[in-house]
Amino acid sequence: MTVAPKIVFLDAATFGDMSLAQFTDRWPCTVHQVTQATETAARITGHNIAVTNKVAFDKTILNSPAAEELKLIAVAATGTDVIDKDAATKRGVKVCNVPGYAAQAVGQFTIALLLELASRIGSNSADVKAGAWQSSPVYTLLTYPQVELHGKKLGIIGYGNIGKTVAKIAGALGMEILVGARPGGSAPPSDRVPLDRLFREADVITLHCPLTPQTKNLINGQTLASMKSTAFLINTARGALVDEAALIETLRHKRIAGAAVDVITQEPPPADHPMIVAARELSNLMVTPHTAWSAREARERLLSEVKENIAAFLAGQHRNRVA
């Protein structure tokens, strides 16, 4: 890149309390904490590098005069479904991401969700605070059924950095690992399980695949109906992998034992979002606020990698390029 970099951060609030000094001390930067869709065009105007986590760059934005000077979109995340990569390529805009930065954090969080579903520690703790144990006629409370995970089958859909991390931790718990075939792919290799078999056999299914046309609504009425009535579902990937209405209906009728999701289809959700309403009503649904990735160590790695991606681009190098 022969011209001086002019960098705009569109949603710096997603980094929490992390300092951006490694960028602002090195390059001219404009930092916006939050950017609404209606503000994107005005804020990228005159900048040649945009850093985004969840602010979308669709065809309309990329084809607009606002993107005339834009040369690089540095996605501060692994998933790049917020970028129309075909439109970016046609405009000559490069796109890079940060793979693997949160594998440990998301893997740990996924197992934490699994342990909560299986052991109901939070629910039991809440009962103590509400006085239930204190009024029990015996020494214990058996309000919530608990499940021993040793020997259970964990079905993993999406076997990248995060999926492999989850498998390693779950293996230490004595679980049997079933790695699902790639959704929409050809015949699976011998070390992968066809998805129809995985849905039938798994005691727990955890999602770690990207959102693509092949994976949208992968969890739907049909796949949920094929799961064991004792099975758990965990989603820390993308909300649109799940047909939320079908999941709510399944949980309401207790056709599976429970679900824990860290992602839903609208984030942040309105107060009347169906998943939020259901989480208030159903004891077998747990919703957390898209926070699996957010360990401080992961955020430090994320920003360091974004910086290196920008530096490499400015030096004419290809680093973590996805378009």
What pLDDT score was predicted for residue 2?
65
Give me the amino acid identity at 48: N
- Which residue in this structure is represented by tokens 């910086």? 307
Predicted confidence pLDDT, tens digits, the chain (323 residues): 667 899 999 999 999 999 999 999 999 999 999 999 999 999 999 999 999 999 999 999 999 999 999 999 999 999 898 999 999 999 999 999 999 999 999 999 999 999 999 999 999 999 999 999 999 999 999 999 899 999 999 999 999 999 999 999 999 999 999 999 998 777 778 889 999 999 999 999 999 999 999 999 999 999 999 999 999 999 999 999 999 999 999 999 999 999 999 999 999 999 999 999 999 999 999 999 999 999 999 999 999 999 999 999 999 999 999 99
State the Rg of the chain over Cα: 22
| Segments making up each domain of the chain, as ranges | 7-101+296-314, 103-287
For residues 8 and 80, what is the distance between their CA atoms, to the nearest angstrom?
Answer: 18
Catalytic residue among 91, 120, 290, 301: 290
pLDDT at position 66, please?
Answer: 97
- The reply to whether 7-101+296-314 and 103-287 are identical in fold is yes
Which pLDDT score is estimated for 188?
78
Cβ-based neighbours of 147, under 8 Å, separated by 6 or more = 117, 118, 119, 230, 257
The active-site residue, picked from 47, 238, 299, 301, is: 238
Alpha-carbon span 181 to 243, nearest angstrom: 20
238 is catalytic: yes
Q: Does domain 103-287 correspond to CATH entry 1.10.4080.10?
A: no
**Tokens standing for 304?**
């360091």
Assigned CATH class of 7-101+296-314: alpha beta
Q: What is the DSSP letter of 189?
A: P
User: What is the predicted pLDDT for the residue at 191?
Assistant: 87
What pLDDT is attached to residue 1?
65
Catalytic residue among 39, 267, 281, 297: 267
At 242, is the secondary structure helix, strand, or coil? strand
Helix (H) or strand (E) holding 299: helix 296-314
pTM for this one? 0.92
Active site residue 308: no
